[in-house]
Amino acid sequence: MSQKLFVSADEVAKRAGVSRSAVSRAFTPGASVSELTRRKVIEAAEELGYHVNQLARGLMRNESGIVCLIVSDVATPYRSALLRELTQQLQTAGKVAMLVNTDRSDGSVDRALQQAIRYRADASIILSGLPDKSITQLCLRSGQRLVLINRDDDQPGPLRINLDDTEAAHRVVTAFLRAGCQRLAFANSDAGTPSLMARERGFVAAAKTQGLDVTVERYGFTSYDSGKMLAQRMLTRTERPDAVFCATDLLACGFMDAARHQFSISIPEQLSIVGFDDIEQASWTSYQLTTFAQPVAVIAGEAVQWLSAEPSSENERTSKLLHPELVWRGSVRAG
Amino acid sequence: MSQKLFVSADEVAKRAGVSRSAVSRAFTPGASVSELTRRKVIEAAEELGYHVNQLARGLMRNESGIVCLIVSDVATPYRSALLRELTQQLQTAGKVAMLVNTDRSDGSVDRALQQAIRYRADASIILSGLPDKSITQLCLRSGQRLVLINRDDDQPGPLRINLDDTEAAHRVVTAFLRAGCQRLAFANSDAGTPSLMARERGFVAAAKTQGLDVTVERYGFTSYDSGKMLAQRMLTRTERPDAVFCATDLLACGFMDAARHQFSISIPEQLSIVGFDDIEQASWTSYQLTTFAQPVAVIAGEAVQWLSAEPSSENERTSKLLHPELVWRGSVRAG
DNA sequence: TCGCTCTTTGCAAGCGTGTGCAAATGCTGC
DNA sequence: GCAGCATTTGCACACGCTTGCAAAGAGCGA
């Protein structure tokens, strides 16, 4: 492929007039080297442009430093925000992120995890989909850490980070009631993702305890266009809802736009809307969407901390439940 | 760290009753193995959950299969769209993406490239910032391919993919003139990114040939908030512009929102706006922004194709100039 | 000077794989 | 049966690094 290739530790050793082990030790924090040789090595390395070969190091140490991020729909606001947080925190923890894109096809996540295994990733973080049990078993057996974010799974081993969707749903119901709304609706995608379904169930259940029925509509993936479509379905009914909880901010944005510009409904006067995720667009002047903020920084922090910690016998809980924060903006009628 | 660790080719060989070389060859396309042994090996591998160790393979083949994506502001719509395209196309080309986040600090890109070198990445694709010449030299000398996207650099070696910003700027001027606009303005961030500056210069120059002056304002990074700020600065002037070319869709969205909701200006009747990038939000009903679409799929395609091709002596041109497509929506007054 | 301890250094084995080379095997035609 | 050839197989070395181990050196008190 290429000619000269990378400079190796041998060349550095020769130039610095030391043994190859010395070079290795000079680049290993905490290794036994005198300050003098270390300096000689570093200098020679810089002159030659030497950088430790992490492939070889990983092979020996049996620890690649690679963490595999498995995710679909990377270009989506919420996903990309989480991605930013994860990559940044991984970097400061001395790890490096390997990004594997999945689609909705069968076995997509499994293939991604196999990629992670091939590269001997120290850990994999799964943001989308759910891998086959046999593969996760293989990962764990191989000594690979696993983190599931917002995936509803109960097998032990992986760290599971989840949001309290039910609590959130309850809070939306109270907010809507306090605003004097009566005809509640839930706008969902029909992707059937665990967290989306949890929000829906929680919302319906909470409304029921208040003696209210909820109109539920599901359509497409969780996107802006689906939001518009959902609005068209719900707002052409004879009994229009006056309060809609959208499973996702993206859905909410589409819903709002359709409601305003197609149905000339004014928000929040005639229609209260709450979303979920607190994507950047939710704060834009055109939307001012009241929504739940996913604590992406905390999520990433928990994940990174867990997977760079020593596997202390019981590593405490392998499951974390975080609480989204309700961000009040202008899309819910004042009480 | 972990106990049992990954299963190696030796174990597979033993189980399949063949030599270790046979295992290796069974997983090497085009290697000399009989169909029988290959099948035996594959079967044994599946039973044991064996996956080739890419670290070791990369070490031998001197080709890791890793491509390093160097980028800042991952969570930004345009960046994440490009990222999605790149990771997907890399995957189908049999490569794997390593994501390195940069910030605006000095040497951030250089550190990222060093990371790429450490992992012996086959190539690096730089979407943000510009590395020091010495580092790029080191990369090239080490046999690493380099792709610069929308970075204005003239040193030979890397593949440079650029957009024709000047042509785009010219087209905006004609569009504005045809719409009967007279007071032209350019809203830019003051990040000084090469492509942003090229758009500004092109716009000013094109206007000049028509005998028109352009009000130029620069502020902050290229974000929604900067767009709002720019609107506040430009629309409080005594002579308001009636046509603004925003260097970025994100700026344009902020600009539009401020114009409409703070200054009650109606678009496009009193103010025509054109953006750049064609991020997803540009097509949202609230914006309907006329803008230039970056051909992200083509960009990614060119990059991936180039870096997975054999280094055919002269690999043709090392510089590609692509032409953004003008997407007409509703933010420019009809002529 | 010696003997002791503590630090630093080099040697060499090994990590899991690819691959050149020679030996072995299978096949064909006589 | 055998020569002749193409295909398949195994051995052993290489890739660039880490690290246990033993040898070498440094420091120091007697």
CA distance A255 to B24: 55
Is strand D less than 7 A from the beta carbon of B56?
Answer: yes
A90 CB contacts (<8 Å, ≥6 apart)?
A67, A96, A97, A304
Identity of the residue in A6, A115, A280 whose CB atom sits nearest the CB atom of B120: A6
Question: In Å, how far is B80's CA from the nearest CA of chain A?
Answer: 5
Position A1 pLDDT exceeds 50: no
Mean pLDDT, residues B184-188 taken together: 97
pLDDT tens column, B112-136: 999 999 999 999 999 988 888 899 9
Amino acid at A10: D
Cβ contact A54–B91 (<8 Å)? no
Question: In Å, how far is A215's CA from the nearest CA of chain B?
Answer: 25
Of residues B328 and A312, the one with the higher pLDDT is: B328
DSSP output for B153-184? ---SSSEEEEE-HHHHHHHHHHHHHHTT--SE
Of residues A129 and A173, the one with the higher pLDDT is: A173
Per-residue pLDDT band for B2 (boundaries 50, 70, 90) equals very low
Cβ contact B1–A143 (<8 Å)? yes
Could you say which nucleotides of strand D lie within 7 A of any protein CB atom?
A: 7-12, 14-20
- Residue among B125, B183, B130 at smallest CA distance from B155: B130
Per-residue pLDDT band for B4 (boundaries 50, 70, 90) equals low
Per-residue pLDDT band for B182 (boundaries 50, 70, 90) equals very high
Position B310 pLDDT exceeds 90: no
Position B308 pLDDT exceeds 90: no
Position B312 pLDDT exceeds 80: no
Position B9 pLDDT exceeds 80: yes
Position A247 pLDDT exceeds 70: yes
Rg of chain B over all Cα atoms, to the nearest angstrom: 25
Look-up: residue for tokens 């109109």? A215
In chain A, what percentage of residues exceed pLDDT 90? Answer: 84
- Residues of chain A in contact with residue B228, where contact means CB-CB under 8 angstroms, are 285
> Do β-strands A96-101 and B96-101 pair in parallel, antiparallel, or remain unpaired?
antiparallel
Which pLDDT does position A53 carry in this prediction? Answer: 96
Closest-CA residue of chain A to B281: A281
Position A315 pLDDT exceeds 60: no
CA distance A229 to A262: 11
Question: In Å, how far is B120's CA from the nearest CA of chain A?
Answer: 7
Which pLDDT does position A153 carry in this prediction? Answer: 77
Which domains occur in chain B, in start order? Answer: 9-52 (no CATH), 66-163+296-321 (3.40.50.2300), 165-294 (3.40.50.2300)
Alpha helices in chain B (DSSP H): 9-16, 20-26, 35-48, 54-61, 77-92, 108-118, 133-141, 165-178, 194-209, 224-235, 249-263, 296-308
CA distance B73 to A296: 15
Is strand D less than 7 A from the beta carbon of A142?
Answer: no
Which pLDDT does position B152 carry in this prediction? Answer: 80
Is strand C less than 7 A from the beta carbon of A8?
Answer: no
- A34 CA → D30 C1’, Å: 29
pLDDT tens column, A28-52: 998 888 889 999 999 999 999 999 9
Question: In Å, how far is B43's CA from the nearest CA of chain A?
Answer: 16
Which pLDDT does position B65 carry in this prediction? Answer: 96
Cβ contact B6–A143 (<8 Å)? yes
Take residue A217 and report the two structure tokens written for it: 């509509």
Helix (H) or strand (E) holding A88: helix A77-92
- Residues of chain B in contact with residue A54, where contact means CB-CB under 8 angstroms, are 118-120
- A55 CA → C2 C1’, Å: 49
- A17 CA → C4 C1’, Å: 31
Position B57 pLDDT exceeds 80: yes
- The overall average pLDDT reported for chain B is 93
Nearest residue, CA→C1' of D18:
A60
DSSP output for B42-69? HHHHHHHT----HHHHHHHHT---EEEE
pLDDT tens column, A98-148: 999 999 888 899 999 999 999 999 999 999 888 888 999 899 999 999 999
CA distance B40 to B27: 12
Is strand D less than 7 A from the beta carbon of A9?
Answer: yes
Position A3 pLDDT exceeds 90: no
Which pLDDT does position B314 carry in this prediction? Answer: 56
Is strand D less than 7 A from the beta carbon of A62?
Answer: no
Per-residue pLDDT band for A150 (boundaries 50, 70, 90) equals very high
Closest nt to residue A56, judged CA to C1': D17
Per-residue pLDDT band for A256 (boundaries 50, 70, 90) equals very high
Position A2 pLDDT exceeds 50: no
Mean pLDDT, residues B148-168 taken together: 90
Per-residue pLDDT band for A236 (boundaries 50, 70, 90) equals very high
Position B326 pLDDT exceeds 60: yes
